[in-house]
Amino acid sequence: MNNQKLAISIISISAIILLGVIYFIFVHKYSSTTQTNNQIATSTQNTNKPNQTNQKINIEQPKAKIESDNKIIKVSEEDEVKKMAGLFAERFGSYSNQSDYANITNLQIFMTDSMKGWSNKLISSLRKNNGAGYYGINSKSIVEEAKQFNKDQGAAEILVKTQRQETNDKGEVSTFYQNILVSYKKIGSEWRVDSAIWQNR
């Protein structure tokens, strides 16, 4: 009887040990397989992601190209005189009878003495012919063209093409295009306006 109980105990213990071994092998194998699959999946995801380092290089390449293409452009004296003529034409050709033609008198610091005398006569003529109603005109430079430029002789002629708008006392506005020939004389180191003649429309 005792031998029978001993045999049953041995068989039971062996069965428990066997089940433990089987369980350990199964669980360990499953865990390893799962970990390996996760590593493979992670590796695949990383491979499919765009290379951020390459992206950064590609983004900054155009900036470097722009910087390398930058050039210092020097404006010539002729271009400076052309620009001055365009600004002069805009102010000279923009005034109203209510401002007492101050736009013209304010430009006299940019004129030669002969041009100042001529502009004073022009203002006197405009005042005499000034009507009772309002009159105003605005001019805008479109393009400046050098007809003559001689740095050594200190002489230049710039043709300025303008767009002009007249406004009367009724508030009516008319638009037209008119050229003005601005002549310059160099006095010392400064270019001064020597004449400004409006061309026919």
Residue 51 has pLDDT above 60, yes or no: no
Rounded to 5 degrees, φ, ψ at 21 are -65, -45
Please give the helix or strand (H or E) that residue 141 lies within, else none: strand 136-150
**pLDDT value of position 180:** 98
Residue 81 has pLDDT above 70, yes or no: yes
**pLDDT value of position 96:** 87
Residue 173 has pLDDT above 70, yes or no: yes
Class of 77-198 in CATH: alpha beta
Q: Are 122 and 196 in contact (CB under 8 A)?
A: no
Of the listed ranges 75-79, 108-112, 188-192, 193-197, the one predicted with least confidence: 75-79
Q: What is the mean pLDDT of residues 62-84?
A: 69
**pLDDT value of position 73:** 63
Q: Are 177 and 201 in contact (CB under 8 A)?
A: yes
Among 133, 142, 128, which residue's Cα sits nearest to residue 96?
133
Under the banding of pLDDT at 50, 70 and 90, the label for residue 179 is very high
Q: Provide the percentage of residues in the chain whose pLDDT is more than 70.
A: 63
Q: Are 89 and 60 in contact (CB under 8 A)?
A: no
pTM: 0.62
